[in-house]
Structure 1
Amino acid sequence: MISPPFRLGVISALQHEQHGLIDLMQDRRSVTRAMREYVTGSLWGMDCVCVLSRVGKVAAAATVATLIERFGVTHIVFTGVAGSADRAVRVGDIVVADALVQHDMDTTPLFPRFEVPLTGQSHFASDLGLTNRLAKAAQDFVGMDLRALVAAQDIDAFRLHQPRVHRGLIASGDEFIDSRSKLAELKQALPPLLAVEMEGAAVAQVCFEFGVPFAVIRTVSDAANEDAPVDFMQFIERVAARYAFGIVKRLCAEGATA
């Protein structure tokens, strides 16, 4: 259950990942801050601020800090795509983060590998309540909404016939992982790793430092190796954006009546 006041910040790295959400906002207002457009309004009865962070940890961290300090969001959800880091996680699956780690953070021998200096943390845990609700929204989307929102030809083209929702560890870094050797190295260092991307752990660190609940959800777009699809942007437009739309809709509608 969520008690008022409640204002949700919805962040994505790329424009297409929020396709349709901003168009549906009621009482919509746009504010430009630090080269980003923050759109405030209501989505399915929930007070929201939607913004594109752009790609990378620094961009994501700046966006989150602005959401908290300038726009007063009380909870944050990051949506987007990721590469699989586990054989059980396939293209079209969804990964909801229970924890996030910066895979390119290494200040040894001063601090252990992956630990963010002066925080005592390497793995930043997402908010359990918000993550549970987001995972349920994702599961309901897969079970009930996917075929209504994703075209049949795209389901066939991207082999989305039985997508699954996973929960676990996501790693972030300022590097697009597209090599089997690099992925194997990360998996050896972080055996529970399910997916890799470029923003989530920065969101997690900023939210940890501000004490703001957060959750991160990713649609798996590729296997984080040399076989990554050349039609990456088509996958975002035709699949991932529709996943995000349907899942955020369920999350907001549930929260509005909680």
Structure 2
Amino acid sequence: MKIAIVVPMAEEAEFYHQYFSSGKKEMFGSTEFEHFSVAGNDLYLGLTGIGKVQAAMNLTSLLAKEKIDLVIMTGSAGSLQKEVQRMDLVLPSEFAYHDAHNTSAGNYVEGQIPQEPARFKLDCAERDKFKDFLGKKGVAYKEGLVVTGDSFISSQAQKDEILGNFPTALCVEMEGAAFAQVAYHFNVPLIALRAISDNGDEDADNDFAAFVRKVGAQAAELIVEYLRENDF
């Protein structure tokens, strides 16, 4: 089975190298993907870069050239809800773009790109299997809507604007919906796991710098354990 792990930032990717020995490196788009063999599976690890365009461009470059069976995206996110705290894990069930406002362009809802689904839902057997793994390990997580945009959210005013359109959104980040949109068009299942690095408020910048490595390590450890223990 061919599995791709995609992360936006070097701080989030570095921990995977603690678990995998150096493998073959190959360029797909503008991203260098490292190729490992893990538990009999071919694993492609790529640092895609930050933001929607980088995420979509580099995942598309990989999927257009390799027959990937599963995409796993990890990384950090900012909380939008009081009950979602730093170091919490979020398992997205669906993604939307919080910066897509196209309701005046036709029969579209907030967060919808014209002629695309309103939400990119991650309902697949592979995700269900990962949920079972988290449950068996006793890993606590929040599950629900995650929203994506090209801005780092660092004020209560920004949070309030997003929540006005997406009151149930658990957290906000900068790549997930783009990964999900690409996976949707290539008909490849996607598992997403975000760890909360900040509260998306005026302290977000300081909190993010302090916590991004911690939450990156947290997510990486779970993903690696999942890959090693499960038969695909």
TM-score, normalisation: structure 1? 0.82
> Are the aligned partners of 2:5 and 2:43 in contact in 1 as well (CA < 8 Å)?
yes
- Return the match for 1:67 from 62, 68, 78: 62
Which residue is equivalent to 1:48?
Answer: 43
Number of residues paired by the alignment? Answer: 230
Which residue is equivalent to 2:203?
Answer: 227
Which residue is equivalent to 1:129?
Answer: 125
Which residue is equivalent to 1:184?
Answer: 160
Which residue is equivalent to 1:151?
Answer: none
> Are the aligned partners of 1:169 and 1:192 in contact in 2 as well (CA < 8 Å)?
yes
- Return the match for 1:198 from 166, 170, 174: 174
Separation (CA, whole Å) in 2 of partners of 1:23 and 1:91: 24
Q: 1:1-150 counterparts in 2 under 5 A?
A: 6-22=1-17, 24-25=19-20, 28-111=23-106, 112=108, 113-119=110-116, 121-138=117-134, 143=139
Which residue is equivalent to 1:236?
Answer: 212
Structure 1 residue 23: Cα displacement: 5.1
Structure 1 residue 116: Cα displacement: 1.6
Structure 1 residue 138: Cα displacement: 4.3
- Relative to structure 2, which stretch is displaced further, 171-180 or 18-27? 18-27
Separation (CA, whole Å) in 2 of partners of 1:220 and 1:204: 19
Deviations 1:207-249 (A, max 9, x none): 1111111021100011111122515334222x12221221111
Separation (CA, whole Å) in 1 of partners of 2:200 and 2:136: 27
Change (3 A) 1:124 1:202: same
Structure 1 residue 140: Cα displacement: 5.6
Report the residue type matching 2:124 in the other structure.
Answer: L
> Are the aligned partners of 1:104 and 1:114 in contact in 2 as well (CA < 8 Å)?
yes
Change (3 A) 1:142 1:183: farther
SS of 1:188 mapped into structure 2: helix
> Are the aligned partners of 2:146 and 2:169 in contact in 1 as well (CA < 8 Å)?
yes
Which residue is equivalent to 2:190?
Answer: 214
Structure 1 residue 42: Cα displacement: 1.5
Separation (CA, whole Å) in 2 of partners of 1:21 and 1:142: 22
Deviations 1:160-215 (A, max 9, x none): xxxx4111000000011111122112112112200100000001111111111102
Separation (CA, whole Å) in 1 of partners of 2:150 and 2:14: 24
Q: What stretches of structure 1 of length at least 5 have no aligned partner? A: 1-5, 144-163
Separation (CA, whole Å) in 1 of partners of 2:56 and 2:207: 28
Identity in percent: 26
> Are the aligned partners of 1:45 and 1:253 in contact in 2 as well (CA < 8 Å)?
no
Separation (CA, whole Å) in 1 of partners of 2:88 and 2:120: 22
Structure 1 residue 127: Cα displacement: 3.5
> Are the aligned partners of 1:30 and 1:37 in contact in 2 as well (CA < 8 Å)?
yes
Separation (CA, whole Å) in 2 of partners of 1:45 and 1:81: 28
Change (3 A) 1:219 1:139: farther
Which residue is equivalent to 1:167?
Answer: 143
TM-score, normalisation: structure 2? 0.91
Separation (CA, whole Å) in 1 of partners of 2:22 and 2:175: 29
Aligned-residue RMSD, C-alpha = 2.0
Separation (CA, whole Å) in 1 of partners of 2:11 and 2:147: 22
